Protein backbone atom coordinates (compact mmCIF):
# COMPACT_ATOMS: atom_id res chain seq x y z
CA UNK A 1 0.00 0.00 0.00
CA UNK A 2 2.72 2.42 0.90
CA UNK A 3 4.49 1.56 -2.37
CA UNK A 4 1.39 2.52 -4.34
CA UNK A 5 1.08 5.81 -2.47
CA UNK A 6 4.77 6.45 -2.98
CA UNK A 7 4.64 5.98 -6.72
CA UNK A 8 1.49 8.05 -7.16
CA UNK A 9 2.91 10.89 -5.07
CA UNK A 10 6.35 10.71 -6.70
CA UNK A 11 4.88 10.80 -10.20
CA UNK A 12 2.65 13.72 -9.19
CA UNK A 13 5.62 15.58 -7.72
CA UNK A 14 7.74 15.07 -10.83
CA UNK A 15 4.84 15.97 -13.10
CA UNK A 16 4.29 19.16 -11.12
CA UNK A 17 7.97 20.03 -11.42
CA UNK A 18 7.90 19.43 -15.17
CA UNK A 19 4.77 21.57 -15.38
CA UNK A 20 6.56 24.45 -13.66
CA UNK A 21 9.19 24.63 -16.37
CA UNK A 22 7.07 23.75 -19.40
CA UNK A 23 3.94 25.86 -18.93
CA UNK A 24 4.16 29.20 -20.69
CA UNK A 25 1.97 31.24 -18.37
CA UNK A 26 3.62 31.92 -14.97
CA UNK A 27 0.23 31.68 -13.30
CA UNK A 28 -0.14 28.06 -14.39
CA UNK A 29 3.45 27.46 -13.31
CA UNK A 30 2.52 28.58 -9.81
CA UNK A 31 -0.47 26.23 -9.80
CA UNK A 32 1.75 23.37 -10.97
CA UNK A 33 4.12 24.15 -8.11
CA UNK A 34 1.20 23.95 -5.66
CA UNK A 35 0.41 20.44 -6.96
CA UNK A 36 4.08 19.57 -6.64
CA UNK A 37 4.18 20.78 -3.04
CA UNK A 38 1.08 18.81 -2.08
CA UNK A 39 2.52 15.63 -3.59
CA UNK A 40 5.77 16.28 -1.75
CA UNK A 41 3.86 16.65 1.51
CA UNK A 42 2.44 13.17 0.88
CA UNK A 43 5.99 11.85 0.50
CA UNK A 44 6.91 13.53 3.78
CA UNK A 45 4.01 11.76 5.46
CA UNK A 46 5.27 8.44 4.12
CA UNK A 47 8.60 9.24 5.78
CA UNK A 48 6.90 9.84 9.15
CA UNK A 49 7.52 13.59 9.07
CA UNK A 50 4.05 14.67 10.06
CA UNK A 51 4.94 18.11 11.34
CA UNK A 52 7.05 19.00 8.31
CA UNK A 53 4.27 17.81 6.01
CA UNK A 54 1.73 20.01 7.79
CA UNK A 55 4.12 22.97 7.68
CA UNK A 56 4.71 22.31 4.00
CA UNK A 57 1.01 22.46 3.21
CA UNK A 58 0.23 25.44 5.44
CA UNK A 59 3.31 27.60 4.91
CA UNK A 60 4.44 26.68 1.42
CA UNK A 61 1.32 25.70 -0.45
CA UNK A 62 -0.69 28.21 1.56
CA UNK A 63 1.17 31.39 2.38
CA UNK A 64 4.12 31.48 0.01
CA UNK A 65 2.13 30.43 -3.03
CA UNK A 66 -0.53 33.05 -2.29
CA UNK A 67 2.26 35.62 -2.32
CA UNK A 68 3.35 34.29 -5.70
CA UNK A 69 -0.16 34.45 -7.08
CA UNK A 70 -0.53 38.05 -5.94
CA UNK A 71 2.74 39.10 -7.55
CA UNK A 72 1.97 37.26 -10.78
CA UNK A 73 -1.41 38.99 -10.90
CA UNK A 74 0.21 42.36 -10.17
CA UNK A 75 3.08 42.11 -12.60
CA UNK A 76 0.97 40.50 -15.27
CA UNK A 77 1.46 36.90 -16.06
CA UNK A 78 1.65 37.28 -19.81
CA UNK A 79 4.75 35.42 -20.86
CA UNK A 80 4.17 35.37 -24.58
CA UNK A 81 7.08 37.67 -25.36
CA UNK A 82 9.37 35.98 -22.88
CA UNK A 83 10.20 32.57 -24.14
CA UNK A 84 13.16 30.57 -23.02
CA UNK A 85 16.62 31.95 -23.24
CA UNK A 86 18.45 31.89 -26.51
CA UNK A 87 21.90 30.92 -27.56
CA UNK A 88 24.18 28.22 -26.34
CA UNK A 89 22.60 28.02 -22.89
CA UNK A 90 19.37 26.79 -24.45
CA UNK A 91 21.17 23.67 -25.66
CA UNK A 92 23.65 23.31 -22.84
CA UNK A 93 21.26 23.65 -19.90
CA UNK A 94 19.39 20.33 -20.37
CA UNK A 95 22.73 18.61 -20.92
CA UNK A 96 24.04 20.10 -17.67
CA UNK A 97 20.91 18.99 -15.87
CA UNK A 98 21.15 15.48 -17.30
CA UNK A 99 24.78 15.17 -16.28
CA UNK A 100 23.89 16.41 -12.81
CA UNK A 101 21.08 13.88 -12.54
CA UNK A 102 23.37 11.03 -13.57
CA UNK A 103 25.97 12.18 -11.08
CA UNK A 104 23.45 12.41 -8.24
CA UNK A 105 22.05 8.99 -9.11
CA UNK A 106 25.56 7.54 -9.11
CA UNK A 107 26.21 9.17 -5.75
CA UNK A 108 23.03 7.63 -4.31
CA UNK A 109 23.39 4.19 -5.82
CA UNK A 110 27.13 3.90 -5.40
CA UNK A 111 27.40 5.39 -1.96
CA UNK A 112 27.88 2.04 -0.32
CA UNK A 113 25.63 3.06 2.56
CA UNK A 114 23.72 -0.10 3.29
CA UNK A 115 21.02 1.93 5.03
CA UNK A 116 20.05 3.51 1.69
CA UNK A 117 18.65 0.16 0.59
CA UNK A 118 16.65 -0.33 3.76
CA UNK A 119 13.37 1.02 5.01
CA UNK A 120 15.21 3.11 7.57
CA UNK A 121 16.12 2.70 11.18
CA UNK A 122 13.66 1.72 13.86
CA UNK A 123 11.89 4.78 15.14
CA UNK A 124 10.09 5.56 18.32
CA UNK A 125 6.47 6.47 18.69
CA UNK A 126 7.12 10.20 18.87
CA UNK A 127 9.13 10.45 15.66
CA UNK A 128 8.33 13.55 13.62
CA UNK A 129 5.72 14.90 15.99
CA UNK A 130 5.64 18.60 16.88
CA UNK A 131 6.81 17.68 20.35
CA UNK A 132 10.03 16.14 19.12
CA UNK A 133 10.71 18.92 16.63
CA UNK A 134 10.08 21.55 19.27
CA UNK A 135 12.31 19.84 21.76
CA UNK A 136 15.14 19.67 19.23
CA UNK A 137 14.63 23.32 18.30
CA UNK A 138 14.81 24.48 21.90
CA UNK A 139 17.71 22.29 23.00
CA UNK A 140 20.16 21.12 20.34
CA UNK A 141 19.33 23.63 17.62
CA UNK A 142 18.58 26.73 19.66
CA UNK A 143 21.03 28.92 17.73
CA UNK A 144 19.67 28.02 14.25
CA UNK A 145 16.18 28.63 15.61
CA UNK A 146 17.03 32.14 16.75
CA UNK A 147 18.94 32.84 13.54
CA UNK A 148 15.90 31.75 11.53
CA UNK A 149 13.70 34.21 13.39
CA UNK A 150 16.19 37.03 12.79
CA UNK A 151 16.36 36.05 9.12
CA UNK A 152 12.59 36.27 8.81
CA UNK A 153 12.61 39.72 10.43
CA UNK A 154 15.34 40.93 8.07
CA UNK A 155 13.48 39.54 5.06
CA UNK A 156 10.22 41.21 6.08
CA UNK A 157 11.88 44.60 6.56
CA UNK A 158 13.87 44.19 3.35
CA UNK A 159 10.80 43.36 1.33
CA UNK A 160 8.96 46.41 2.65
CA UNK A 161 11.96 48.62 1.91
CA UNK A 162 12.29 47.21 -1.61
CA UNK A 163 8.70 47.25 -2.71
CA UNK A 164 7.32 50.39 -1.11
CA UNK A 165 6.56 53.47 -3.13
CA UNK A 166 9.65 55.60 -3.16
CA UNK A 167 9.67 59.34 -3.27
CA UNK A 168 12.63 60.19 -5.46
CA UNK A 169 12.67 57.36 -7.93
CA UNK A 170 9.19 56.59 -9.10
CA UNK A 171 7.69 60.04 -9.17
CA UNK A 172 10.65 61.75 -10.79
CA UNK A 173 10.96 59.17 -13.51
CA UNK A 174 7.42 59.25 -14.68
CA UNK A 175 5.32 62.38 -14.30
CA UNK A 176 1.64 61.81 -13.86
CA UNK A 177 0.01 62.28 -17.25
CA UNK A 178 -2.73 64.89 -17.36
CA UNK A 179 -6.11 63.45 -16.68
CA UNK A 180 -4.66 60.66 -14.60
CA UNK A 181 -4.73 61.65 -10.97
CA UNK A 182 -3.56 59.74 -8.00
CA UNK A 183 -6.57 58.14 -6.36
CA UNK A 184 -5.31 59.16 -2.93
CA UNK A 185 -2.79 61.69 -1.69
CA UNK A 186 0.72 60.78 -2.63
CA UNK A 187 2.89 59.69 0.29
CA UNK A 188 -0.08 58.03 1.92
CA UNK A 189 1.24 54.97 3.62
CA UNK A 190 4.89 55.91 3.28
CA UNK A 191 7.53 56.34 5.93
CA UNK A 192 7.31 60.11 5.59
CA UNK A 193 3.74 60.08 6.73
CA UNK A 194 4.50 57.54 9.42
CA UNK A 195 7.09 59.72 11.15
CA UNK A 196 4.84 62.76 10.98
CA UNK A 197 6.51 64.60 8.14
CA UNK A 198 3.46 66.77 7.67
CA UNK A 199 5.01 68.85 4.95
CA UNK A 200 5.56 65.89 2.71
CA UNK A 201 2.25 64.43 3.65
CA UNK A 202 0.22 67.54 2.99
CA UNK A 203 2.02 69.17 0.10
CA UNK A 204 0.80 67.10 -2.86
CA UNK A 205 -2.81 66.95 -1.85
CA UNK A 206 -3.86 69.43 -4.47
CA UNK A 207 -3.37 66.70 -6.99
CA UNK A 208 -6.08 64.69 -5.37
CA UNK A 209 -9.10 64.13 -7.46
CA UNK A 210 -10.76 60.92 -8.31
CA UNK A 211 -10.64 60.51 -12.02
CA UNK A 212 -12.27 57.60 -13.76
CA UNK A 213 -9.68 54.95 -14.28
CA UNK A 214 -7.32 56.75 -11.98
CA UNK A 215 -5.95 53.54 -10.56
CA UNK A 216 -2.23 53.87 -10.37
CA UNK B 1 9.83 1.89 0.22
CA UNK B 2 13.59 1.95 0.30
CA UNK B 3 15.21 5.24 1.16
CA UNK B 4 17.08 5.17 -2.15
CA UNK B 5 13.85 5.70 -4.08
CA UNK B 6 13.18 8.94 -2.26
CA UNK B 7 16.71 10.11 -3.00
CA UNK B 8 16.28 9.34 -6.70
CA UNK B 9 13.02 11.33 -6.79
CA UNK B 10 14.85 14.16 -5.03
CA UNK B 11 17.63 14.05 -7.63
CA UNK B 12 15.13 14.16 -10.50
CA UNK B 13 13.32 17.16 -9.02
CA UNK B 14 16.63 18.93 -8.44
CA UNK B 15 17.69 18.37 -12.06
CA UNK B 16 14.36 19.73 -13.30
CA UNK B 17 14.86 22.82 -11.14
CA UNK B 18 18.36 23.33 -12.52
CA UNK B 19 17.01 23.14 -16.06
CA UNK B 20 14.41 25.78 -15.29
CA UNK B 21 16.86 28.16 -13.62
CA UNK B 22 19.23 27.93 -16.56
CA UNK B 23 16.71 28.28 -19.37
CA UNK B 24 13.96 30.58 -18.10
CA UNK B 25 14.07 34.34 -18.58
CA UNK B 26 11.16 35.40 -16.42
CA UNK B 27 12.48 36.00 -12.89
CA UNK B 28 9.18 34.79 -11.42
CA UNK B 29 9.66 31.39 -13.01
CA UNK B 30 13.32 31.37 -12.00
CA UNK B 31 12.21 31.83 -8.39
CA UNK B 32 9.72 28.98 -8.81
CA UNK B 33 12.51 26.74 -10.07
CA UNK B 34 14.64 27.73 -7.09
CA UNK B 35 11.76 26.55 -4.93
CA UNK B 36 11.87 23.23 -6.77
CA UNK B 37 15.56 22.83 -5.96
CA UNK B 38 15.05 23.73 -2.29
CA UNK B 39 12.21 21.23 -2.06
CA UNK B 40 14.38 18.52 -3.57
CA UNK B 41 16.89 19.26 -0.84
CA UNK B 42 14.11 19.08 1.73
CA UNK B 43 13.01 15.68 0.48
CA UNK B 44 16.57 14.37 0.71
CA UNK B 45 16.95 15.79 4.24
CA UNK B 46 13.76 14.11 5.42
CA UNK B 47 14.69 10.84 3.72
CA UNK B 48 18.01 10.85 5.55
CA UNK B 49 16.23 11.74 8.76
CA UNK B 50 14.07 8.63 8.31
CA UNK B 51 17.15 6.60 7.40
CA UNK B 52 18.98 7.37 10.65
CA UNK B 53 15.86 7.49 12.74
CA UNK B 54 16.46 10.82 14.42
CA UNK B 55 14.79 14.16 13.90
CA UNK B 56 17.75 16.38 13.03
CA UNK B 57 17.03 16.25 9.31
CA UNK B 58 13.47 17.38 9.86
CA UNK B 59 14.66 20.35 11.89
CA UNK B 60 16.94 21.36 9.05
CA UNK B 61 14.14 20.89 6.55
CA UNK B 62 12.12 23.44 8.52
CA UNK B 63 15.10 25.81 8.53
CA UNK B 64 15.34 25.39 4.76
CA UNK B 65 11.65 26.31 4.51
CA UNK B 66 12.32 29.47 6.53
CA UNK B 67 15.21 30.40 4.24
CA UNK B 68 13.03 29.74 1.19
CA UNK B 69 10.28 31.98 2.57
CA UNK B 70 12.81 34.78 3.17
CA UNK B 71 14.24 34.35 -0.32
CA UNK B 72 10.80 34.45 -1.89
CA UNK B 73 9.87 37.58 0.04
CA UNK B 74 12.95 39.50 -1.03
CA UNK B 75 12.85 38.17 -4.59
CA UNK B 76 9.22 39.11 -5.11
CA UNK B 77 9.93 42.52 -3.57
CA UNK B 78 12.69 43.00 -6.13
CA UNK B 79 10.36 41.97 -8.96
CA UNK B 80 7.70 44.43 -7.78
CA UNK B 81 10.34 47.20 -7.57
CA UNK B 82 11.55 46.35 -11.09
CA UNK B 83 7.97 46.46 -12.34
CA UNK B 84 7.35 49.83 -10.70
CA UNK B 85 10.34 51.35 -12.48
CA UNK B 86 9.12 50.03 -15.84
CA UNK B 87 12.27 48.03 -16.37
CA UNK B 88 12.07 44.88 -18.47
CA UNK B 89 11.19 41.85 -16.39
CA UNK B 90 13.79 39.68 -18.05
CA UNK B 91 16.88 38.28 -16.36
CA UNK B 92 18.82 38.47 -19.61
CA UNK B 93 18.35 42.23 -19.86
CA UNK B 94 18.81 43.14 -16.19
CA UNK B 95 22.58 43.10 -16.36
CA UNK B 96 23.63 46.53 -15.16
CA UNK B 97 25.35 45.02 -12.15
CA UNK B 98 27.48 42.84 -14.34
CA UNK B 99 30.41 45.28 -14.22
CB-based contact, B87 to chain A, within 8 Å: no
**What residues of chain A score a pLDDT lower than 50?**
172, 201, 205-206, 214-216
Contact B53 A137 (CB under 8 A): no
CB-based contact, B2 to chain A, within 8 Å: yes
CATH code at B50? 1.10.287.3510
Question: Which residues of chain B does A174 touch, with a Cβ-Cβ cutoff of 8 Å?
Answer: 86
**In this complex, which of B39, B60, B80 lies closest to A37 when CB atoms are compared?**
B39
What pTM, to 2 d.p., does this model score?
Answer: 0.79
The boundaries of the domain holding residue B71 are 3-90
Q: Find, among B36, B90, B24, the residue nearest to B68 by Cα.
A: B36
A1-79 fold? 1.20.120
Q: Find, among A82, A120, A57, A170, the residue nearest to B93 by Cα.
A: A82
CB-based contact, A132 to chain B, within 8 Å: yes
Please report whether residue B26 resides in a domain: yes
Tens of pLDDT, residue by residue over B12-48, are 999 999 999 988 888 888 999 999 999 999 999 999 9
Domain count, chain B: 1
Contact A154 B70 (CB under 8 A): yes
Residues near A51 by Cβ (< 8 Å), separated by ≥ 6?
Answer: A128, A129, A130, A133, B58
The ipTM (two decimal places) reads: 0.91
What pLDDT, on a 0 to 100 scale, did the predictor assign at position A142? 93
Question: Domain limits of chain A?
Answer: 1-79, 129-163, 175-209
Please give, one letter per residue, the 3-state secondary structure of A61-122.
Answer: HHHHHHHHHHHHHHHCCCCCCCCCCCCHHHHHHHHHHHHHHHHHHHHHHCCCCHHHHCCCCC
Please report whether residue B99 resides in a domain: no
CB-based contact, A105 to chain B, within 8 Å: yes
What pLDDT, on a 0 to 100 scale, did the predictor assign at position A106? 85
Please, what sign has the CA dihedral across residues A138, A143, A146, A148?
A: negative
Contact A82 B86 (CB under 8 A): no
Interface test with chain B among A78, A97, A158, A186, by most B beta carbons within 10 Å: A97
What pLDDT, on a 0 to 100 scale, did the predictor assign at position A105? 84
Please report whether residue B73 resides in a domain: yes
**In this complex, which of A21, A30, A148 lies closest to B63 when CB atoms are compared?**
A148
**In this complex, which of A37, A94, A133 lies closest to B55 when CB atoms are compared?**
A133
What pLDDT, on a 0 to 100 scale, did the predictor assign at position A189? 64
Please report whether residue B97 resides in a domain: no
Please report whether residue B13 resides in a domain: yes
Please report whether residue B95 resides in a domain: no
Question: Which residues of chain B does A120 touch, with a Cβ-Cβ cutoff of 8 Å?
Answer: 3, 50-53
Chain B CA closest to residue A123: B53
Please report whether residue B98 resides in a domain: no
Tens of pLDDT, residue by residue over B56-73, are 899 999 999 999 999 999
Amino acid sequence: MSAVIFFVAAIAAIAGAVGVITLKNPFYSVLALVCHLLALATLFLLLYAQFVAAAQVIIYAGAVMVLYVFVVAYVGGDDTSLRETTGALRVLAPIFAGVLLVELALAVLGSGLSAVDSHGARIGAGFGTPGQIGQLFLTTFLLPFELASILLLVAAIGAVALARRRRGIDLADEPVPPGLHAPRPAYTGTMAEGVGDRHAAVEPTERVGIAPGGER
Amino acid sequence: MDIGWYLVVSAIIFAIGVTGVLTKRNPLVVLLCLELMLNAGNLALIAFSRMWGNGDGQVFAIVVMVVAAAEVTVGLGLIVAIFRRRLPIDVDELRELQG
